[in-house]
Amino acid sequence: MIRIVLCAVVVFVLQTPAFAGEGRPEFRAMLGQMLLVGFRGAELSDEDSILRDIREHNLGGVILFDRDVQLKTVGRNIQSPAQVRALTARLQAAARTPLFIAVDQEGGRVRRLREAAGFPFSPSAKAMGQGTPDETRQEGERTGRLLADLGINLDFAPVADVDVNPASPAIGALERSFSADPETVAAHAGAFSRGLLSHGVLPCLKHFPGHGSAMADSHLGLTDISRTWSPAELIPYERLIPLGASPLIMCGHLFLERFDADHPATLSPAVLTGLLRERLGFKDVIVSDDMQMRAITAHYGLEEAVLRAVEAGVDILVFGNNLDYDPDIVPKAVDILVRGVDSGRLSRQRIEASFDRISKAKALLATPQGATNGFAGERS
């Protein structure tokens, strides 16, 4: 089953203009690739807005959830293995450019594929961190094998946050960090990433520049880490970026005054361009955390948040459509980006740079890495 899915992805990728050397698509289609959104429905009809967005706006990706937070219901997109396979196949069949189909499958408390729906148990990062990196790699392989079989090709994991504050409501209290030791975090995050890549599933390190010391949860409001954060929280990124361990890094909605006294990391050129790209040398895809989290929506309107994020360096804007639900978020966001370019606030070259990074990452879907080999982007 895994070989069939991967072969299908290879054929799809190689036949898609974005990957076939035929030049870039038209401009609005490039903008669509910069969006990754959630949607409602375990099964889809032709009239569903998500299929419209894939067909008409060249949507770059989707994210699957087991629960609908706003409706307080279960089974939003995930009900059984067979149902998920059918759903992901339907989504990819509508796409002219291969979709990122993403999920948060860290293990432990944060996993969308649960035993009640017929999926195997997976341990938390904290539990994995108490074992060896090789055991964590094997867990990454098991997760990668599961996701590839389901047609899911992007895991918003592993967490690279250091467990500075075990009571941190979004990280430590949920056992999402591998360790309080940043070198241990780097070793296990790299191992889990290697396991995912061995099955053609892309990892995404998160939450840059480090959520582990936070006293608040950015889902609920502004998370200021100015007095608790330390440079040691960058060590996992300093170790893993030169290895090309992950083609995607997710930034957190974290306010860190020493780098930017006005804006959270997601909207900060100083953090994303100055620190992550220029100082740490990350050349690949920067993904936002959910742009509908209260840390953003309580302080910025949609248009300003979208434009500031792209100005800062974000390549893929995530709208989970779970904390809030807007079936028209994709055309709204595309229109905002078009206005940003038309007004001169964003340059066409800035959009093309994101599109090229996204295309490079999607090309990796056709080349799963052997479990004992180097990372997909390892540099000599």
Catalytically annotated residue among 219, 260, 263, 315: 219
Give me the catalytic one of 161, 289, 290, 315.
289
Tell me the one-letter amino acid at 232: A
- Does 263 participate in catalysis according to the annotation? no
In DSSP notation, 294-350 reads: HHHHTTS-HHHHHHHHHHHT-SBEEE-SSSS--TTHHHHHHHHHHHHHHTTSS-HHH
Residues ≥6 apart with Cβ < 8 Å to 231: none
Task: List CB contacts of 339: < 8 A, sequence separation 6 or more.
Answer: 303
Place of tokens 């989290």: 293
C-alpha atoms less than 13 angstroms from C-alpha of 103 in its C-beta half-sphere: 28
289 is catalytic: yes
Answer yes or no: are the C-beta atoms of 373 and 141 closer than 8 Å.
no
Say what the alpha-carbon torsion angle 284, 199, 175, 78 is, to the nearest 10 degrees: 100
H or E segment to which residue 368 belongs: none
Question: What are the structure tokens assigned to 242, written together?
Answer: 């030169």
C-beta neighbour count of 25 within 10 angstroms: 18
Please tell me the distance from the alpha carbon of residue 117 to that of residue 113, in angstroms, as a whole number. 7
Which residue in 138, 225, 236 sits closest to 178, CA to CA?
236
Cβ neighbours around 291 below 10 Å, total = 27
Name every residue whose Cβ is closer than 8 Å to that of residue 122 and which is 6 or more positions away in sequence. Answer: 105, 107, 108, 111, 113, 139, 142, 143
Nearest in space to 280 (alpha carbons), one of 316, 226, 244, 229: 244
For CA atoms 348, 352, 358, 362, the dihedral sign is: positive
User: Would you name the residues annotated as active-site residues?
Assistant: 219, 289
